[in-house]
């Protein structure tokens, strides 16, 4: 699938303009936040800053040949391992084993030995189009090598989500700061929706170069092999994500949502996630998101019924009613792009 075409394309989907520097909170501030009514930190290894614009995670040292690489871990397919690491338990990631989306790694002297890493040297460039979306230009600032994927299989069969965030070529584009001495890194977050609630997540990888550019993520072609597009059940390694292409705009407009708004500098696009690692359906969650871009039909725009949506199933009904389509008038559904976006917290 071509990343760039005229009109509404499969690239440039998930933009966050939350680029102001943010510092990590200390333990006391984290405790205060946890006591705030309505906010729940889901990723227990994480610390959020005061305005929930950034997350601080432990970083780990690994090797790629003789080179040192630094990575984070946000999910594990093994329940006991996830509990020990204080990360999300995501058994669905194991469904990607045996595909090109997963790299089998070795461990030597307590360190993971990777086959490939990331070239962080390119300069990221995103230039909005006349109406924001689609952008005039979108070039990723980080490109995964042929051997690289964030999904790794340990010798015992456990699958981890372990994206690289630093090596000799530079740092991940979402990085606020990386403290090698104290082994922690801080990364920008994005706000989205889940069943009417606000969720906070960060983005590390995308299988499409345009998406990677707009998301400030690493372009990772191997993630395109993650099974199974269009399926969110227990046998898939994916879960659905909806970005709206053409929602309402206006920075102060409470009905604002979508890529055009975000690319015009009005804030996050308020994407919709299908599952989160919390509640009765937590085991359906995976950080590998199956992009379902949604496009309001002209009639909805004219009637101003294209207000912000907050629930995956509601958008599915809108599509069934003919009010929402996929790109270029195609039926709404998965477009074949995979993004790696771990959920960090939820406002309830």
Model pLDDT, residue 31: 40
- Residue 37's pLDDT band, with cuts at 50, 70 and 90, is low
Is 312 exposed, middle or buried (CB count within 10 Å of its CB: 0-12, 13-18, 19+)? buried
Cβ partners under 8 Å of residue 48, min gap 6: 25, 30, 33, 41, 54, 55, 56, 189, 200, 344, 345
Structure tokens at 140: 């990723």
Note whether 284 and 232 are within 8 A (CB). Answer: yes
Q: Kindly write down the DSSP assignment for every residue of 157-203, as one continuous string.
A: S-EEE--EEEETTEE-TTEEEEETTTTEEEEE-EEEEETTEEEEE--
pTM value is 0.90
Residue 224, φ and ψ in degrees, nearest 5: -60, -20
Using DSSP bridges, classify how beta strands 239-242 and 288-291 pair: parallel, antiparallel or unpaired: parallel
Torsion of CA 331, 332, 336, 341, to 10 degrees: 170
Q: What is the pLDDT of residues 308-330, one digit of tens each?
A: 999 999 999 999 999 999 999 99
Model pLDDT, residue 7: 37
| Statement: residue 10 has pLDDT above 60 | no
39 upstream amide cis, omega within 30 of 0: no
Q: What is the pLDDT of residues 135-173, one digit of tens each?
A: 999 999 999 999 999 999 999 999 999 999 999 999 999
Tokens 């599509």, residue?
A: 319
Model pLDDT, residue 348: 85
């Amino acid at each position: 699938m071509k990343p760039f075409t005229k009109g509404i394309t499969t690239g440039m989907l998930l933009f966050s303009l939350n680029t102001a520097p943010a510092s990590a909170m200390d333990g006391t501030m984290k405790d205060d936040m946890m006591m705030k009514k309505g906010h729940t930190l889901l990723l227990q290894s994480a610390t959020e800053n005061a305005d929930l614009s950034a997350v601080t995670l432990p970083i780990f040292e690994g090797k790629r040949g003789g080179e040192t690489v630094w990575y984070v871990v946000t999910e594990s397919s093994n329940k006991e391992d996830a509990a020990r690491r204080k990360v999300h338990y995501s058994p669905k990631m194991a469904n990607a084993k045996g595909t090109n989306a997963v790299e089998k790694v070795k461990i030597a002297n307590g360190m993971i030995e990777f086959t490939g890493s990331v070239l962080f040297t390119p300069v990221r460039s995103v230039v909005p189009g006349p109406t924001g979306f689609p952008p005039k230009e979108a070039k990723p600032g980080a490109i995964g090598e042929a051997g690289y994927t964030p999904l790794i299989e340990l010798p015992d069969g456990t699958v981890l989500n372990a994206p690289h965030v630093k090596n000799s070529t530079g740092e991940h584009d979402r990085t606020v700061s990386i403290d090698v001495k104290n082994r922690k890194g801080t990364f920008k977050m994005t706000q989205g929706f889940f069943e009417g609630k606000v969720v906070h997540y960060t983005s590390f990888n995308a299988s499409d170069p345009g998406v990677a550019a707009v998301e400030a993520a690493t372009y990772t072609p191997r993630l395109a092999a993650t099974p199974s597009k269009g399926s969110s059940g227990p046998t898939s390694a994916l879960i659905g994500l909806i970005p709206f292409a053409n929602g309402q705009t206006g920075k102060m407009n409470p009905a604002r949502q979508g890529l055009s708004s975000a690319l015009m500098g009005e804030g996050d696009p308020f994407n919709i996630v299908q599952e989160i690692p919390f509640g009765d359906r937590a085991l359906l969650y995976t950080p590998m998101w199956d992009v379902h871009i949604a496009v309001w039909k002209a009639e909805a725009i004219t009637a101003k019924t294209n207000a912000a949506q907050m629930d995956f199933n509601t958008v599915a009904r809108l599509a069934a009613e003919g009010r929402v389509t996929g790109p270029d008038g195609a039926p709404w559904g998965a477009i074949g792009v995979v993004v790696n976006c771990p959920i960090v917290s939820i406002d309830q």
